[in-house]
Amino acid sequence: MKNIGIVCEGPTDFIILQAVVDTITGERNNFYPLQPEPDVIGRYENGWKGVWKWCIDHAAIKKQFMNSIQPALDLLIIQMDGDVSRKEKPAHCSCDPTVCPDRESLNPLYCNTITCPVTLPCNRHSAPVTGYIDHLKSLISSKLIDTDDTCIVVPCDSLEAWIVAAYDGPENVESIEDPWKQVILRGAPYHDVRIPRQKKSAKVFREFAPVVCRNWQQVTRLCQSARDFEQTIRSFT
């Protein structure tokens, strides 16, 4: 049994990641939900910006944060969806050859420059899936500085792709943009799972989680990001 901290984009991501890690390790682990938005004063927000901010804020104390509290964290999982690389300009702010006069002075997360010179798709990090995974992994690593005992997972296009892979198993599942809208909501109820108000709710994802775990082999066969995740988790256990 391991103590595992999870920094993820949203509450529903936490549910799937937790279940998948238990499936991969074959044991019930202790999970610490570190992000999203656990802070009552609202320093962090949901989504990829919250993950990014968390990494920056904890970079300097990450080692102590993991080890100076008993029980210590054996592993930190950081999740950011691949769609960030596909559609968010700030994620490509520091990419060559983009030149922005405000690059050094403004944090890309808070930059509101109307004339942002970043163009998408970024020609250094365009599709395929591996491009998004590599880009976001290196982006998160650069914010964290130290990546010891850390697993960065970048589901493509988002974590819902793993759900679609588990239920439907299409070959190109990681190339489907926004599988939540394009597949899951289109089929509502999705494989008999009702999705009230088309909202990502914990109740709905708790129904998805056992299916993802049961069909995890299929998910890893179809998703590079899932294979990558499993491999990294296994290397820690």
Residues that bind another protein (CB under 8 A): 5, 8, 10-11, 14-15, 18-19, 22, 28, 30, 32-40, 61, 64-65, 68-71, 202
The Cα 187–Cα 182 span in angstroms is 9
Shortest distance (Å) from residue 38 CB to another protein: 4
Beta pairing partners, 152? 78
Q: Quick one: 41 or 114, whose CB is closer to another protein?
A: 41
Contact 186, 164 (CB under 8 A): no
> What are the φ/ψ torsions at residue 116 (nearest 5 degrees)?
-60, 125
Q: Quick one: 39 or 134, whose CB is closer to another protein?
A: 39
Q: Quick one: 183 or 204, whose CB is closer to another protein?
A: 204
Shortest distance (Å) from residue 160 CB to another protein: 17
Q: Sign of the CA dihedral 202, 205, 78, 85?
A: negative
Shortest distance (Å) from residue 236 CB to another protein: 19
Q: Sign of the CA dihedral 229, 234, 236, 237?
A: positive
Shortest distance (Å) from residue 31 CB to another protein: 8
Contact 29, 233 (CB under 8 A): no
Q: Quick one: 29 or 141, whose CB is closer to another protein?
A: 29
Q: Quick one: 15 or 173, whose CB is closer to another protein?
A: 15
The Cα 216–Cα 234 span in angstroms is 14
Shortest distance (Å) from residue 230 CB to another protein: 18
Shortest distance (Å) from residue 193 CB to another protein: 19
Q: Quick one: 23 or 224, whose CB is closer to another protein?
A: 23
Beta pairing partners, 193? 190
Strand order in the sheet with 75-79: 30-35, 3-7, 75-79, 150-153
The neighbour count for residue 7, using CB atoms within 10 Å, is 26
